[in-house]
């Protein structure tokens, strides 16, 4: 499918085609956020790669969703307490489903090298180090390094900056403005306190069916599909609702498409692309 307008999402909003993002590459094979997962997703024909970035003890940028390496590798420890050399000794394919050889956790540079090989490939980079109390300096240093590297590679205009923490989003926006695109989470309270109105610069919102209690705690609704009114609200604001992998069942994804979403971030991009191509919703 053609790349959506990079000056906004108007073209995507009225398109019959659905933009497919590979969630952590191709996650279903137990090799999430590895180079094998990224290559599989690209080979499947995804429009976008979504991944997670954290910073190591020695200031290097690694693709890793969790705070620790335990779930996805054969190692233990927090990413921020390990050096790049230590992390690269681990096997990120230890839980692979299928005949995948051992592979170290991937770096952001490796992913960006793939992006340079595929000029039409869009990127969705989630910043996973948050400026919680006592971690502010580390998180903002990680934030700046990621943004600087993306700019150095010249991929800003096809990259969505993504974070659950609104302070990270607004930090990048203040430094680079519309050189990037921005991915937030709706309802906006998920992003926490922000000094900038998220609707003034965010153009993609991952929809999370959550509610907030008076004490500030956040809970999930049992039904993962958000109400149609939320889709309507975002679309009226010119913000594209992104369907999250938590929906699982295809009838829920299809309902979201019927309500105007033109972006989906599935765990299994092959299956989603097959589903959409059968409906004429992807090339």
Category of 134 on φ-ψ map: left (φ > 0), alpha (ψ -120 to 50) or beta: left
Domain count along the chain: 1
Question: pLDDT of 128-172, one tens digit each?
Answer: 999 999 999 999 999 999 999 999 999 999 999 999 999 999 999
Q: Kindly provide the residue ranges of all beta strands, DSSP E only, lying in 103-187, ordered along the sequence.
A: 122-127, 159-162, 181-186
What is the DSSP-derived secondary structure letter of residue 253? H
Name the residue range of residue 191's domain: 10-278
In a domain, 4, yes or no: no
In a domain, 5, yes or no: no
Please give the average per-residue pLDDT across 90-101, as a whole number: 96
11: pLDDT confidence band, cut at 50, 70 and 90?
low
Find the CATH number of the domain harbouring 151: 3.20.20.190
Question: pLDDT of 50-78, one tens digit each?
Answer: 999 999 999 999 999 999 999 999 999 99
Sequence-separated (6 or more) residues with CB below 8 Å from residue 204: 9, 160, 181, 182, 183, 184, 239, 240, 242, 263
Sequence-separated (6 or more) residues with CB below 8 Å from residue 265: 21, 22, 23, 50, 124, 206, 242, 243, 244, 245
In a domain, 3, yes or no: no
In a domain, 90, yes or no: yes
Please give the average per-residue pLDDT across 45-50, as a whole number: 98
Give the predicted TM-score (pTM) of the model.
0.94
Question: pLDDT of 173-182, one tens digit each?
Answer: 999 999 999 9
What is the C-alpha radius of gyration for the chain, rounded to an integer number of angstroms? 18
């Amino acid at each position: 499918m053609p790349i959506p307008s990079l000056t906004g999402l108007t073209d995507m909003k009225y398109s019959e085609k659905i933009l497919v993002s590979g969630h952590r590459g191709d996650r279903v094979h137990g090799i999430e956020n590895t180079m094998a997962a990224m290559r599989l997703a690209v080979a499947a024909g995804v429009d976008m790669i979504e991944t997670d970035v954290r910073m190591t003890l020695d200031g290097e940028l690694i693709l890793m969703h969790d705070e620790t390496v335990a779930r996805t590798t054969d190692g233990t420890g927090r990413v921020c307490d390990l050096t790049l050399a230590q992390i690269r000794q681990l096997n990120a394919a230890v839980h692979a489903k299928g005949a995948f050889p051992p592979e170290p956790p991937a770096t952001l540079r490796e992913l960006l090298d793939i992006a340079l090989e595929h000029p039409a490939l869009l990127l969705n980079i989630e910043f996973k180090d948050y400026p919680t109390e006592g971690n502010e300096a580390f998180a903002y240093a990680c934030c700046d390094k990621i943004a600087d590297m993306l700019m150095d590679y010249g991929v800003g205009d096809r990259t969505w900056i993504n974070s659950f923490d609104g302070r990270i989003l607004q930090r990048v926006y203040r430094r680079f403005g519309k050189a990037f695109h921005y991915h937030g989470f709706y309802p906006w309270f998920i992003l926490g306190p922000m000094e900038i109105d998220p609707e003034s610069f965010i153009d993609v919102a991952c929809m999370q069916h959550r509610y907030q209690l008076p004490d500030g705690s956040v809970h999930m609704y049992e039904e993962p599909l958000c109400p149609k009114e939320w889709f309507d609200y975002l679309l009226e604001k010119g913000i594209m609702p992104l369907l999250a992998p938590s929906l699982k069942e295809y009838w829920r994804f299809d309902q979201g498409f019927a309500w105007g979403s033109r972006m989906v971030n599935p765990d299994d991009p092959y299956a989603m692309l097959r589903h959409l191509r059968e409906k004429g919703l992807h090339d």
